[in-house]
Amino acid sequence: MIEQILLIVGSGILGVLGIAHLIYTFFSNKFDAYDKNVTAAMKKTTLVLTKETTMWKAWIGFNASHSLGAILVPLFYIPLAANNISIIQDSLWLSTLPVLIGLSYFALAKKYWFKIPLIGISLVCGCFVGAAVVINI
């Protein structure tokens, strides 16, 4: 079924992006500021919200939690689509939730990110929208 393929492919792309993001967060300098003085300042500066953490720790935490959110979608939707597609087909919520997630990531990518994640998220959205249309029409 085409909806199964679209959900699995879209979820898979999102999962790969999330895993890459998590690896970059903890095992590379890809999210360091190009200006090393900015990174150093982030490591010394606390938030207005609380002095219990630094901007750097918050930055790493936000990136890690963002990655985990992207990884959670395929952990849920790939097995569900592969083994119990009827559950998704019988639920307007479960069939449209991936679209809402994809469009949310798309809006963030369009406004705040750069070309590569925008292209990846666009593919994810296309898959999720296509699956939702096939399921609900």
* Residues spanned by the domain of 49: 2-136
**Cβ-contact 130, 94 below 8 angstroms:** no
Tell me how far apart the alpha carbons of residues 85 and 103 are, in angstroms, rounded to a whole number. 22
Nearest Cα to Cα of residue 5 among 77, 73, 70, 87: 77
**Cβ-contact 19, 67 below 8 angstroms:** yes
Quote the percentage of the chain above a pLDDT of 90: 100
Q: What is the pTM (predicted TM-score) of this model?
A: 0.93
Nearest Cα to Cα of residue 127 among 98, 86, 92: 98
User: What pLDDT is recorded for position 99?
Assistant: 98
106 — pLDDT class (breaks 50, 70, 90): very high
Q: Per-residue pLDDT tens for 2-61?
A: 999 999 999 999 999 999 999 999 999 999 999 999 999 999 999 999 999 999 999 999
Segment (H or E) for 37: helix 36-44
Tell me how far apart the alpha carbons of residues 9 and 22 are, in angstroms, rounded to a whole number. 20
User: Domain tally for the chain?
Assistant: 1
| Sole residue written with tokens 């750069």 | 114
